């Protein structure tokens, strides 16, 4: 593969160029597929020899994300590199940025890695958040409890995902116990809000400051993990507009280039509250793979390459259902699922099914949102998802 000169950030990278992705999970896999379909070559860096993305890449560098030699190789092979998960070390991105285009920026990832930084920046950009307070040690508990009130959620500032690292607390004593149960790591205490719905906005922003929004997804979680996304979300245009406006403020405020997912709470009084963001395509955007004119991974390629963004228009109502390892008993009844013409199945190539592990998803397309949701529920039941 040809070695490349560092590309100026304004340059458009056309098919034939080599793109890199840090992380080889399912998001990296779907990025790899999209890029290869469009005629790009893809280098994946992931230590797992069986990684879902590595299987489909032109080159799979099997090394740690801090491995300087692997990063140098990646930087030499690629004209641009992106990430598929937020916990990539910022130093690795900085090292790569000396050799090729890196998007999103390390600073944006750093903000998304820390709930305190994320919510603080969101407020600075004019986004509404739940009341929150930083807790670095026991000495902060009193002030945090006084500031946030009850009930509240204690969340670890870092490495929390899919509801992990979170404890609901209803008293000052429970707060102390919860903080101790999280090993005293830095935490955020957050006011527990009466949620009517949870929605997300996935957007793409390119270096020319063009932003394309995918339609809002309405998300339902089970055990802290996304279960079903329904699109269009059952919210008013005013709610959707608030969510899009806040997502755009975050993207512009962070000078973000790439695909950004932003999760919001919708309260009964119509208020929309920022919850968190993911600096990458998102599980709640998987519906775009079958239901939009451009999907979130094609959009990630376009933004990374400095191309004009694709049309994010919704072509059909859709409900996305996640397939977790729990359904492998030992294998789901694929025939029962695939007998429905409106079902589109996506499996991630993971050999080992474990409870809670995301193994795949499917999209249910139907003429109306009600019918899409009905198909999702009926097929879930047929697969034995309770
Ligand atoms: P998170 O990891 O912050 O996305 O939280 C996981 C889930 O917990 C969310 O999807 C919500 O269902 C719930 N949750 C998180 N924060 C709050 C809050 N401040 N008030 C009510 N529910 C919350």
Q: What is the CATH number of the domain that holds 308?
A: 3.30.470.20
Q: Under a CB-based contact definition with an 8 Å cutoff, are residues 284 and 244 in contact?
A: no
Q: Is the CB of 163 under 6 A from ligand 1?
A: yes
CA dist 203 and 288 (Å) reads 11
> Domain for residue 86, yes or no?
yes
CA of 263 to the centre of ligand 1 (A): 10
Residue 275 alpha carbon, nearest atom of ligand 1? 3
Q: Is the CB of 198 under 6 A from ligand 1?
A: yes
Q: Same domain, yes or no, for 279 and 339?
A: yes
Q: Whose CA is nearest to atom 8 of ligand 1?
A: 163
Q: What is the CA radius of gyration of the chain?
A: 21
Q: How many domains does the chain have?
A: 3
> Domain for residue 40, yes or no?
yes
Q: Is the CB of 218 under 6 A from ligand 1?
A: no
CA of 153 to the centre of ligand 1 (A): 8
CA of 179 to the centre of ligand 1 (A): 17
Q: Is the CB of 221 under 6 A from ligand 1?
A: yes
CA of 230 to the centre of ligand 1 (A): 18
Q: Same domain, yes or no, for 154 and 76?
A: no
Q: Same domain, yes or no, for 153 and 215?
A: no
Retrieve residue 203's tokens. 């957007």
Backbone angles phi, psi at 155, to 5 degrees: -125, 135
Tens digits of residue pLDDT in 214-271: 999 999 999 889 999 999 999 999 999 999 999 999 999 999 999 999 999 999 999 9
Q: Same domain, yes or no, for 204 and 184?
A: no
Q: Same domain, yes or no, for 278 and 227?
A: yes
> Domain for residue 113, yes or no?
no
Q: Is the CB of 192 under 6 A from ligand 1?
A: yes
Q: Same domain, yes or no, for 152 and 229?
A: no
> Domain for residue 13, yes or no?
no
| pLDDT for residue 161 | 64
Residue 130 alpha carbon, nearest atom of ligand 1? 19
> Domain for residue 78, yes or no?
yes
| pLDDT for residue 1 | 33
Q: In 3D, which of 24, 13, 73 has the Cα closest to residue 304?
A: 13
In tens digits, what is the pLDDT along the chain, a chain of 386 residues?
333 343 445 699 999 999 999 999 999 999 999 999 999 999 999 999 999 999 999 999 999 999 999 999 999 999 999 999 888 998 999 999 999 999 999 999 999 999 999 999 999 999 999 999 999 999 999 999 999 999 999 999 998 766 678 999 999 999 999 999 999 999 999 999 999 999 999 999 999 999 999 999 999 999 889 999 999 999 999 999 999 999 999 999 999 999 999 999 999 999 999 999 999 999 999 999 999 999 999 999 999 999 999 999 999 999 999 999 999 999 999 999 999 999 999 999 999 999 999 999 999 999 999 999 999 999 999 999 98
Q: Whose CA is nearest to atom 19 of ligand 1?
A: 192
> Domain for residue 151, yes or no?
yes
CA dist 222 and 176 (Å) reads 27
Q: Same domain, yes or no, for 180 and 199?
A: no
CA of 327 to the centre of ligand 1 (A): 25
CATH number of the structural domain spanning residue 168: 3.30.1490.20
By residue range, what is the domain housing residue 155? 131-191
Q: Same domain, yes or no, for 244 and 362?
A: yes
Residue 155 alpha carbon, nearest atom of ligand 1? 3
Q: Same domain, yes or no, for 214 and 317?
A: yes
Q: Same domain, yes or no, for 271 and 144?
A: no
- Mark which of 173, 191, 209 sits at the end of a domain: 191
> Domain for residue 74, yes or no?
yes
Q: Under a CB-based contact definition with an 8 Å cutoff, are residues 127 and 274 in contact?
A: yes
Q: Is the CB of 130 under 6 A from ligand 1?
A: yes
> Domain for residue 266, yes or no?
yes
Task: Answer yes or no: pTM beyond 0.75.
Answer: yes
Q: Under a CB-based contact definition with an 8 Å cutoff, are residues 90 and 104 in contact?
A: no
- Mark which of 65, 83, 102 sits at the end of a domain: 102
CA of 385 to the centre of ligand 1 (A): 23
Q: Whose CA is nearest to atom 5 of ligand 1?
A: 163
Q: Is the CB of 193 under 6 A from ligand 1?
A: yes
CATH number of the structural domain spanning residue 38: 3.40.50.20
Q: Under a CB-based contact definition with an 8 Å cutoff, are residues 178 and 184 in contact?
A: no
Retrieve residue 123's tokens. 């407020």
Q: Whose CA is nearest to atom 14 of ligand 1?
A: 192
Q: Same domain, yes or no, for 75 and 161?
A: no
Q: Same domain, yes or no, for 207 and 149?
A: no
- Mark which of 191, 208, 227 sits at the end of a domain: 191
Residue 193 alpha carbon, nearest atom of ligand 1? 20
CA angle 38, 42, 48 (to 5 degrees): 135
């Amino acid at each position: 593969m040809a070695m490349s000169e560092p590309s100026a950030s304004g340059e458009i990278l056309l098919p034939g160029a080599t793109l890199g992705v840090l992380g080889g999970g399912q998001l990296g896999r779907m990025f790899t597929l999209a890029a290869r379909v469009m005629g790009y070559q893809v280098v994946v860096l992931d230590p797992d020899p069986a990684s879902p993305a590595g299987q489909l890449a032109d080159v799979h560098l099997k090394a740690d994300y801090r491995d300087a030699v692997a990063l140098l190789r990646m930087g030499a092979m690629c004209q641009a590199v992106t990430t598929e998960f937020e916990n990539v070390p910022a130093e690795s991105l900085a090292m790569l940025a000396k050799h090729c285009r890196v998007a999103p920026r390390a600073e944006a990832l750093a903000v998304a890695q820390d709930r305190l930084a994320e919510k603080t920046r969101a407020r600075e950009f004019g986004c509404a958040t739940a009341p929150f307070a930083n807790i670095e040690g026991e000495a902060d508990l009193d002030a945090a409890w006084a500031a946030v009130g009850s009930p509240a959620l204690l969340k670890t500032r870092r490495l929390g995902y899919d509801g992990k690292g979170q404890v609901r607390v209803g008293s000052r004593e429970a707060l102390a116990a919860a903080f101790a149960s999280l090993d005293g790591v830095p935490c955020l205490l957050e006011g527990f809000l009466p949620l009517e719905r949870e929605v997300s906005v996935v957007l793409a922003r390119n270096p020319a400051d063009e932003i394309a929004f995918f339609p809002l997804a309405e998300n339902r979680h089970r055990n802290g993990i996304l279960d079903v996304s329904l699109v269009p979300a059952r919210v008013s245009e005013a709610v959707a507009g608030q969510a899009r406006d806040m997502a755009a403020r975050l993207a512009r405020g962070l000078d973000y280039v790439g695909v950004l997912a932003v999760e919001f709470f919708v309260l009964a009084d119509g208020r929309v509250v920022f919850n968190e963001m993911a600096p990458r395509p998102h599980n709640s955007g998987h519906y775009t793979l079958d239901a939009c004119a451009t999907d979130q991974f094609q959009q990630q390629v376009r933004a990374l390459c400095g191309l004009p963004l694709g049309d994010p228009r919704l072509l059909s109502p859709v409900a996305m259902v996640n397939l977790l390892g729990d359904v492998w008993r030992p294998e789901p009844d694929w025939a029962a699922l695939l007998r429905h013409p409106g079902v589109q199945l996506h499996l991630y190539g993971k050999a080992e099914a474990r409870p809670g592990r995301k193994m795949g998803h499917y999209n249910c397309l139907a003429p109306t949102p009600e019918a899409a949701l009905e198909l999702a529920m009926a097929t879930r039941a047929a697969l034995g998802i309770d």
